[in-house]
Amino acid sequence: MLLPEFDYHEPSTLEEACAVMTALGKCAILLAGGTDLLVRMKKKDLVPDHLVSLGSIDQLKELKVSGRKVQIGALVTVGQIAESERLGDVLPALCQGALNLGSPLVRNLATIGGNIVSARPAADLPPPLMAYGARVILASEKRERTFALEDFFKGPGETVMESGEILTQISLDVPPPHSGAAYLKLGKRKALEISLVNVASFIHLNGPDGVVDSARIVMGAVGPKPLRAFSAERLLAGEKPSDHLFEAAGKAAADESSPIDDFRGSAEYRRTMVSVLTVRTLRSALARARKK
Ligand SMILES: Cc1cc2nc3c(=O)[nH]c(=O)nc-3n(C[C@H](O)[C@H](O)[C@H](O)COP(=O)(O)OP(=O)(O)OC[C@H]3O[C@@H](n4cnc5c(N)ncnc54)[C@H](O)[C@@H]3O)c2cc1C
């Protein structure tokens, strides 16, 4: 399958990229790693007149952990995240998400920005990022906007982004002491598989052996966008962690999911697996929280 014809632009600064996107308007699409976009263009799902590559903008490739802040440029690849020892220390669930995405070949090209902007309900990075409370920064010629990642998604393939905007950075706080998070993905195969269900859980204890101060549970592939399991989170807050509590949270999360039936799995199976993955991610998150 050949790509349709297009004009190619390769700005070397963010300002230049914003100006090009404003000038070209809806006829232009941004290109990051191309693992999603070029496949869609080959299938003729998308036939843009102009492609604007972000690949020469060094500012978007920076990954910084300084003090209590983590800043990940939109062009940082999934492979860099999977292999980063520094991120492995502070945001291990994000590294688990990255390690679960595609194959080494895909991970070397795919970017965190592309994974977020594609807004696929089954994508691997949004659940752990949301569980850690990530924010995204959008830039355009006129202004900069910041959103909590959970307010960024509107539905499959749909986000709050406006024409001419570029996702520049993902920003997170280093999680506090006595907190931990974990991510698990269920697919039909062990590699190169889109999630049937995925879950990321984060818990913060009020001391090494204390009660749950706060929790965030995010479920992927069981709704039009990654979903917070709010009633499960409320069940956990203020309680002493136990298997019984985690099972109740798993059931509550399953009740809050809204999976579909399709050829890859029934809604009932997916709901059951939300419960199983919630319990398992909570157990791993707890083990990590107690180590810190
Ligand atoms: C074989 C294969 C396996 C895959 N497996 C998985 C998987 O297991 N899990 C998973 O989650 N995904 C998977 N994917 C999907 C894809 O690899 C990821 O979503 C990837 O992270 C997309 O990033 P990219 O840099 O390649 O984006 P691109 O393809 O370059 O862009 C995707 C979309 O995002 C827009 N975009 C990109 N960056 C920006 C930005 N900074 N600002 C604004 N808009 C932007 C583009 O305009 C385009 O619309 C797979 C893809 C393939 C081909």
For the chain, the farthest-separated pair of C-alpha atoms sits apart, in whole angstroms, at 61
**Confidence class for position 191, pLDDT limits 50, 70, 90:** low
Q: What is the CATH number of domain 179-291?
A: 3.30.390.50
Condensed to tens digits (0 to 9), the pLDDT of residues 149-161 reads 999 999 999 999 9
In a mutational test of the pocket of ligand 1, which residue from 106, 140, 218 has the highest number of ligand atoms less than 8 Å from its CB? Answer: 106
Q: How far is CA 168 from the centre of its chain?
A: 15
Where are the domains positioned within the chain?
7-53, 58-173, 179-291
Q: What is the CATH number of domain 58-173?
A: 3.30.465.10
In a mutational test of the pocket of ligand 1, which residue from 6, 20, 27, 30 has the highest number of ligand atoms less than 8 Å from its CB? Answer: 30
Q: Which atom of ligand 1 is nearest to the CA of 75?
A: 41
Please tell me whether residue 1 adopts helix, strand or coil conformation. coil
> Which residues surround ligand 1 with Cβ inside 6 Å?
29-37, 39, 54, 74, 78, 101-102, 106, 109-111, 113-115, 117-118, 123-124, 166-167, 192, 194
The bridge status of strand 153-155 relative to strand 158-159 is: antiparallel
Q: Separation of 251 CA from ligand 1 center, angstroms?
A: 32
Whole-number Cα distances in Å, 107 to 13, 34, 77, 177: 24, 11, 7, 30
Q: Which CATH number fits domain 7-53: 3.40.50.2300, 3.30.43.10, 3.40.50.300, 3.40.1360.10?
A: 3.30.43.10
Query: For residue 181, what pLDDT is reported?
Result: 98
Per DSSP, 188 falls in state S
Closest C-alpha among 166, 196, 123, 174 to residue 14: 166
Give the C-alpha separation, 276 to 39, whole Å. 33
**Confidence class for position 136, pLDDT limits 50, 70, 90:** very high
Query: For residue 253, what pLDDT is reported?
Result: 98
Mean pLDDT of the chain: 96
pLDDT at 273 over 80: yes
Per DSSP, 60 falls in state G
In a mutational test of the pocket of ligand 1, which residue from 101, 109, 162, 194 has the highest number of ligand atoms less than 8 Å from its CB? Answer: 101
Tell me how crowded residue 282 is: count the other CB atoms within 10 A of its CB: 30
The position carrying tokens 């590559």 is 53
Cβ proximity of 227 and 218 under 8 Å: yes
Mean per-residue pLDDT, 88-98: 97
Q: Separation of 212 CA from ligand 1 center, angstroms?
A: 35
Q: Which of 25-29, 159-163, 183-187, 259-263 has the lowest mean pLDDT?
A: 259-263
Per DSSP, 3 falls in state P
